[in-house]
């Protein structure tokens, strides 16, 4: 899921500009490398359940050009 957001959405000390963030499974190293290569940077983690398993998403963000 990709959602444009401003600082009010993530509660971080980021200037009030437009960003896109996404979550990627921590074990999907190919996807993480792809997003990093395209300018996304990790900013947090999120735990979620998939069936009975707890899994971790790396939350990544990129600033959109004005």
So which residues are the catalytic ones? 35
Contact call for residues 38 and 25 (beta carbons, < 8 A): no
Structure tokens at 18: 């437009």
């Amino acid at each position: 899921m990709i959602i444009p957001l401003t600082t009010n959405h993530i509660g971080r000390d980021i200037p009030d500009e437009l960003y896109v963030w996404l979550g990627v499974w921590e074990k999907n190293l190919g996807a993480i490398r792809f997003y990093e290569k395209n300018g996304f940077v990790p900013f947090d983690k999120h735990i979620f359940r998939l069936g009975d398993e707890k899994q971790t998403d790396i939350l990544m963000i990129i600033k959109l050009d004005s």
